[in-house]
């Protein structure tokens, strides 16, 4: 792996900028796929971080309990602006949705216009699928480029979607397999571990 010194090239946001960015994501990321919005804002638009760091934080947030988007906001907020950054990131991403769900909870017995909402959701859902898939491809570009990485990606998908193995077991099982494989490659004399493909 190359050193991550390239991170210094990305500029550090002000706490208020950070809060505004996460608040905007929290308010506009309807229909699922908060991860896609986070990457689009933080990596593509603001360039506060890069795909490599984003994937690293995503991996940690998926390994821990809790909602992925909240964990990711916590980790990225902390990485970008320390403790205060973490707090404003989590607050920003949660508040709009929380306010909306509060309103929904207070009037959940009202049945009016549900048909229109359902129709809109029928269109939002496939759009969200396209969005999440595109983000997965962007984030996984490196993993899809190497055969052994790709095999571990595929193995994870098969275990979850086909064999319906519980997620923590997949994480540990495939994770350990991958650890063993890369340790084996490293011992082979680095012929496999020498080619981190980067674009």
Partner 1 sequence: MIDDVLALGRVFAYLSLITLGGGIAAYPELNNLAVDAHGWLTAAQLDYLFGVGQAAPGPNLVSVAIGAATAGLPGALVVLIAFVGPPALLAFVVGRTWARLRTRRWVVSLQRALTPVSIGLLLAGCLSFAKGAITGWMTFTLAAIVFLVVLRTRVNPALMLLAGAAAGILAFAVA
Site for partner 1 in 115-134 (CB under 8 A): 115-116, 118-134
Give least dist CB 15 to partner 1, A: 16
Give least dist CB 19 to partner 1, A: 14
Instruction: Write the secondary structure of the chain as one string of H (helix), E (strand) and C (coil).
Output: CCCCHHHHHCCCCCHHHHHHHHHHHHHHCCCCCHHHHHHHHHHHHCCCCCHHHHHHHHHHHHHCCCCHHHHHHHHHHHHHHHHHHHHHHHHHHHHHHHHHHHHHHHCCCCCCCHHHHHHHHHHHHHHHHHHHHHHHHHHCHHHHHCHHHHHHHHHHHHHHHHCCCCHHHHHHHHHHHHHHHHHHHHHCCCCCCCCCCCC
Q: Is 71 in the site for partner 1 (CB under 8 A)?
A: yes
For partner 1, the binding residue among 42, 58, 80, 88 (CB under 8 A) is: 58
Q: Is 110 in the site for partner 1 (CB under 8 A)?
A: no
Angle of helix 68-106 relative to helix 51-63, nearest 10 degrees?
A: 70
- By beta-carbon proximity to partner 1, the closer residue of 17 and 145 is 145
Q: In the range 147-186, which residues lie near partner 1 by CB under 8 A?
A: 149-150, 152-157, 160-161, 167-168, 170-171, 174-175, 178-179, 181-183, 186
Q: Is 45 in the site for partner 1 (CB under 8 A)?
A: yes
Give me the residue label for tokens 């997620």. Answer: 167
- By beta-carbon proximity to partner 1, the closer residue of 9 and 147 is 147
Q: Is 195 in the site for partner 1 (CB under 8 A)?
A: no
- By beta-carbon proximity to partner 1, the closer residue of 17 and 24 is 24
Q: Is 20 in the site for partner 1 (CB under 8 A)?
A: no
Give me the residue label for tokens 């608040």. Answer: 23
Q: How many residues bind partner 1 (CB under 8 A)?
A: 104
For partner 1, the binding residue among 6, 47, 84, 98 (CB under 8 A) is: 98
Give least dist CB 14 to partner 1, A: 21
């Amino acid at each position: 792996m190359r050193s991550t010194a390239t991170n210094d090239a990305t500029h550090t946001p002000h706490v208020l900028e950070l809060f505004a960015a996460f608040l905007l994501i929290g308010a506009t990321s309807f229909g699922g796929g908060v991860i896609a919005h986070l990457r689009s804002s933080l990596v593509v638009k603001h360039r506060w971080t890069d795909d490599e760091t984003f994937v690293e934080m995503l991996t940690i947030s998926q390994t821990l309990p809790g909602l992925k988007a909240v964990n990711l906001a916590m980790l990225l907020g902390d990485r970008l602006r320390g403790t205060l950054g973490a707090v404003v990131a989590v607050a920003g991403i949660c508040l709009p949705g929380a306010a909306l769900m509060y309103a929904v909870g207070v009037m959940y017995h009202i049945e009016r216009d549900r048909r229109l909402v359902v129709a809109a959701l029928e269109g939002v859902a496939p759009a969200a699928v396209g969005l999440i898939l595109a983000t997965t491809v962007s984030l996984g570009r490196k993993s899809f480029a190497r055969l052994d990485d790709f095999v571990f990606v595929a193995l994870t998908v098969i275990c979850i979607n086909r064999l319906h193995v519980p997620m923590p077991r997949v994480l540990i099982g495939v994770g350990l397999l991958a650890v063993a494989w890369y340790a084996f490659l490293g011992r082979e004399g680095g012929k496999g571990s020498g080619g981190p493909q980067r674009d």
